[in-house]
Amino acid sequence: MRRDGLEVFFLSNRPYTGPGQSPLSFWRATRLSTTDPWSAPVKVESLNSPDLETAQAQGRIALSFDGCELYFTSNRVGGYGGWDLWVAKREKLKGN
């Protein structure tokens, strides 16, 4: 969860009707304030491995203090074998 409590990333094997299905996929939900309900979760395609037949994320995921880096473990192609530590980065937006 982002430190302001307005965004959360999580792994889920929830039903998904898009192309391919990983055992665990990244999802994201947001809300306008900490007293508001969460939005409907949205699958984050850019974080999910293109090799959905064999690659998956697993275990805990963590968002950096500034919300710009997401750390997770995965057995996706391009690692060193087994469950490697990965980081996904995004730019911090200015303003609203």
d(CA 56, CA 13): 11
Which pLDDT belongs to residue 91?
Answer: 86
Q: Which of 68, 83, 96 is nearest to 24 (CA)?
A: 83
Task: Report the percentage of the chain scoring pLDDT > 70.
Answer: 75
* Interatomic CA distance for residues 27 and 65, integer angstroms: 19
Beta bridge pairs of residue 74: 57, 84
- Single pTM value for the model: 0.75
Q: Tens of pLDDT along 41-64? A: 998 888 876 665 555 666 678 999
Least confident of 15-19, 29-33, 40-44, 92-96: 15-19
Domain ranges of the chain: 7-89
Q: Judge whether 74 and 84 are in contact, CB under 8 Å.
A: yes
- Of 44, 48, 89, the closest CA to residue 69 belongs to 89
In this predicted structure, the answer to whether residue 23 has a pLDDT above a threshold of 90 is no
Q: Which of 34, 89, 23 is nearest to 58 (CA)?
A: 23
